[in-house]
Amino acid sequence: MMNCLQSWPEPIVRVQSLSDSGIHVLPDRYIRHPSDRPSFTPISTHANIPVIDLHSLLAARDARLRQATLDRISGACREWGFFQVVNHGVRPELMKSIRQLWRDFFHLPLEAKQVYANSPPHMKGTGAVSGWRRVRSSTGATTSF
């Protein structure tokens, strides 16, 4: 296991590699200081995920209505970090195809997924994919974007 950790450039070893290695204790460099960890103190016991209706943003000719929607998006991002979107205009067939595409991608072998991985020091996400066509060709998906 130590060779695996030492052979990867700083600051990270891919999570899947750590998992596959069979380690029983997470290396210290992967553990955040308690002051950097998220707080699990509930703000409300009856909280609902913000729902943003994009129809008013996409079709609104009224600047006030448009601004109100933008303000709701901004507030949801600041307070929650995410939100649910409705009336976005994306066809259900396309959403179904995209859902299948990401499922196929995450079932690929590690070597195939690493083509799209961030190179250190970026620790979040998979970075900017230079084109979905590469992902689609590796998963065999036929979705068009």
Q: What is the pLDDT of residues 111-137, one digit of tens each?
A: 898 888 766 554 555 444 444 455 555
- CA distances to 84, 86, 139 from 21, in Å: 37, 42, 25
**Dihedral sign computed on CA atoms, order 26, 27, 29, 32:** positive
pTM of the prediction? 0.43
Residue 91 confidence (pLDDT): 93
Q: Which residues touch 87 (CB under 8 Å, ≥6 apart)?
A: 53, 54, 55, 58
Q: What is the pLDDT of residues 36-54, one digit of tens each?
A: 777 666 555 566 889 999 8
Please count the residues of the chain: 145
Q: What is the pLDDT of residues 26-35, one digit of tens each?
A: 777 777 787 7
Tokens of 76: 């949801």
Q: Is the pLDDT of residue 144 over 50?
A: no
Q: What is the pLDDT of residues 51-105, one digit of tens each?
A: 999 887 877 688 888 899 999 999 999 999 999 999 988 999 999 999 999 999 9
Cis peptide before 50 (omega within 30 of 0): no
Residue 52 confidence (pLDDT): 92
